[in-house]
Structures are given as C-alpha cells and as structure tokens.
Amino acid sequence: MNYLLVDIRENNILALRHFLLEGPEAWVPLKYELQKDDETAAGYVSLLLGAFSVAVRRKFSPVCALADIAGFVAELRVKAEEDTVPLDLVLTEDAIRRAVGARPLMQDSESDDDLTTVLNTKVYVLLHLVAEAGFTRADLEEFVEDVAAYTRDWLAAQRPTPPAYLLSDKPDEARMADRP
C-alpha cells in the first residue's frame, strides 16, 4: 500500500458519520466509490479502523485490567448471539488488547483470520461501543473529529520519512548532512 496516496478527505468523514448513525447499510450507496482504487478504499477503511481504536481507548485505558476486557468480550458474545452475529472471542479480545497497547493474545503469525473477518469483528465492536456511549449530536461530532485526527496521525506515521535534503531550506547543506 502506498500510504503517500492515502488521505482522509471530507467525503470520508461524512461517510463515517453516516456509518455511525445508520450502520453498515449507509455505505451501500458508496460501494463503487469505496472500490475505485486501493488508496480510496484505504482512506475509508483507515478511518473506520481509527474509529475502532478511538472507541476502544475511550472505553478502556491503557492500564485497564485484562479481566475487564475479557468481561466486556463475554458480554459482547451474548449480544452477538442475540443478533445472530458470529463473533470469534479470541479475535475480539486480541483486537481490543492491541488497540489499548496491552499484551496480545495471539502472535501475528498465529492469526489465520482473513481481513474481512477482522474488519467485521472491529465494526461490530465499534457499533456496540457507539450505541453504548449514547452520543448526543455534539458528542458524535467530537468523536468523529477525534477519529479523523487519530487516523491522519496514524497514516502520517506509515509514510516513509523523506531524506534530510528534502526537508531543508538550504538543499546543498542538507544534502551534505546525509554523507559521512
């Protein structure tokens, strides 16, 4: 993925807002826009994954007890059964742990889950947390702004750092700084 080409635009933010208010059905009309190219799809998906991370971090602090996460996942499993949604408990707990920086349950190499399963799990958790939060319109706007900022920061961290000579106002001096 070329993260230099991925950007969070106003249409991405608007789509996230609709998604959080109306659920996944809100994105059905955007199907062709979402699939236009990898970078466009990555903008939408990155924002959705950013929303998952922000929502989880609002629910659980980085120093929360792992038992609190396990308890939440157990409650979520009951809700998922009521909704007839298949929910992998280990994957769900692992995703939440990773979002708060806790020790993961699985090594990356141990996860056989495809990206669709992981995304569906995170979306289910996200929508549950948003419903649980009971956002007012102002709360939702603040949440979406926080998600956009978080996701932009995450995308910036994925981009390669340009060489020093591209960052300097004095190209000749900066170019020499990279040499031994």
Structure tokens at 49: 């994954």
How many Cβ atoms from other residues are within 10 Å of residue 165's Cβ?
15
Please determine, for residue 163, whether its predicted confidence score (pLDDT) is greater than 60.
Answer: no
Closest CA to 94 of 81, 82, 78, 111: 111
Give the model confidence (pLDDT) of 58-108 as tens digits.
Answer: 999 988 999 999 999 999 999 988 888 889 899 999 999 999 999 998 877
Which pTM value belongs to this model?
Answer: 0.82
What does the pLDDT average to over 45-53? Answer: 94
Domain extents in the chain: 1-59+135-180, 63-116
Does residue 167 sit in helix, strand or coil? helix
Q: How far apart, in whole angstroms, are the C-alpha atoms of residue 146 and residue 151?
A: 9
Give the model confidence (pLDDT) of 134-154 as tens digits.
Answer: 999 999 999 999 999 999 999
Q: How far apart, in whole angstroms, are the C-alpha atoms of residue 103 and residue 94?
A: 8
